[in-house]
Amino acid sequence: MINVPKGTKDVLPNQSHKWRFIENAARETAAAFCYKEMRTPTFEHTELFQRGVGDTTDVVNKEMYTFEDKGGRSMTLKPEGTAGVVRAFIENGLASSPMPVKTYYITPAFRYERPQAGRLREFHQFGLEAFGSPSPETDAELIFAASSFLDKLGVKGVKLELNSIGCRICRGEYNKALKNYFAPHLESMCPTCRSRYDKNPLRMLDCKEEECKKIAAGAPKILDYLCEECKEHFEKVKELLTAQGVEYTVNSGIVRGLDYYTKTVFEFVSTQIGSQGTVCGGGRYDNLLEELGGNPLPAIGFAAGIERLMLLMENTGVDFPEEQKPALYLAGMDAASRALCFKTAIYLRGKGVCAEFDHMNRSVKAQLKYADKIGARYVAVIGESELATGTVNLKAMKDGNVNSVKIAEIEEYLK
């Protein structure tokens, strides 16, 4: 038997309604905050992620699904959503649009890593991206949007953690301080951290090796090196959040796992899904458009992992809406009545009513048993008298109440 590839997961019919609930909440949140959908290809030129995500990140160094196509071009399945959205923004000339340009996406993404709870090799993200505004109000709006999305899902016990990792000016001074700090410890650190020391010491703070994490815990804090502009920006973001009653903790250890971030970075974190507790994260990336060949333009975004959200919601007992069940099951006694069941079901479906009939040539008793199994709200048995009178007895499966209804009026009754 051919099995599902490791790190991927089938979404079965009895689970898909949970996915629709999360996706609908995502679309409703995006609409409320005036973000419009953008869809980008599942694979892009590898260089996009090398330049955009950063060649010192674990994503680029260890986790990308990269292949050579038949034309000899290096292609990569997208490991995250932002780089592709930025590429599309630049390539399609959206910089000439009225600012800000606010987009969202719901997309699959791919990373080759060890599968664990809430983390798969094929996973799905909901993300918002806003282009053109440098203001802290846009940072705060995006965080409000993420918080609103989580509230809409009924997610509890998630904490907002906030940091600023500065701009090019203050990052230069901070990198010097990090190098001075890490220099005496390099021999004790992993090969990846040693390779990052010269290229991008900030990435050393994001290492998952235990010994490296212990060393990094004593490193200088970026907040002590922010320039005046970055300090003012971060203070204003915090003021806006506080004014709206959004609780947060400043965590100077947040640097995010991708190289393109600047200034504000944030994560919504839970302790209910194991060590991989971040369910939503993002921040500013004011230099990314320029690095990918566009004109300099500030931008900010976030992404939430749908599988992690699903796991968190299940672990904390969030009530999902019930999956859709038939409003009516039509049971036929013979060939003529079965034909009417078919005709009536097709008519009702055209009116938006979920109706079902027998596809398996079952007996009436077996049809009624099946109707109960699939959770039909009402059942109508059609036989000779129903054919003759054009009237059926609608039985409510919940309480057994029966009402006589004209077949032509079933639609109105079910509403």
Fold of domain 16-167+227-315: BirA Bifunctional Protein; domain 2 (3.30.930)
User: What is the residue-wise DSSP string for 241-262?
Assistant: HHHTT---EE-TT---SSTT-E
Show me where the domains of the chain are located: 16-167+227-315, 328-414
Q: State the Cα–Cα distance between residues 301 and 386, nearest whole angstrom.
A: 60
| Average pLDDT along the chain, 415 residues, taken 10 residues at a time | 94 95 98 98 96 83 94 97 97 97 98 84 97 97 97 93 92 88 91 87 84 90 93 97 95 77 93 77 94 95 95 91 94 96 96 96 96 96 94 94 93 87
Q: State the Cα–Cα distance between residues 76 and 67, nearest whole angstrom.
A: 6
Distant-in-sequence, close-in-space partners of 167: CB < 8 Å, separation ≥ 6: 227, 229, 230, 262, 263, 286
CATH number for the region 328-414 comes to 3.40.50.800
pTM of the model: 0.90
Q: State the Cα–Cα distance between residues 63 and 52, nearest whole angstrom.
A: 15
Q: State the Cα–Cα distance between residues 153 and 130, nearest whole angstrom.
A: 23
Q: pLDDT tens, 170-194?
A: 888 888 998 999 999 998 899 889 9
Distant-in-sequence, close-in-space partners of 372: CB < 8 Å, separation ≥ 6: 397
User: What is the residue-wise DSSP string for 201-246?
Assistant: GGGGGG---HHHHHHHTTSPPGGGG--HHHHHHHHHHHHHHHHTT-
Task: Mark 8-36 as b/e (b = at least 16 C-beta within 10 Å).
Answer: eeeeeeeeeebbebbeebbeebbeebebe
100 neighbors 137 (Cβ within 8 angstroms): no
Provide the angle, in degrees to the nearest 10, between the axes of the packed helices 136-153 and 16-32: 150
Q: pLDDT tens, 311-362?
A: 999 988 998 998 999 999 999 999 999 999 999 999 999 999 999 999 999 9
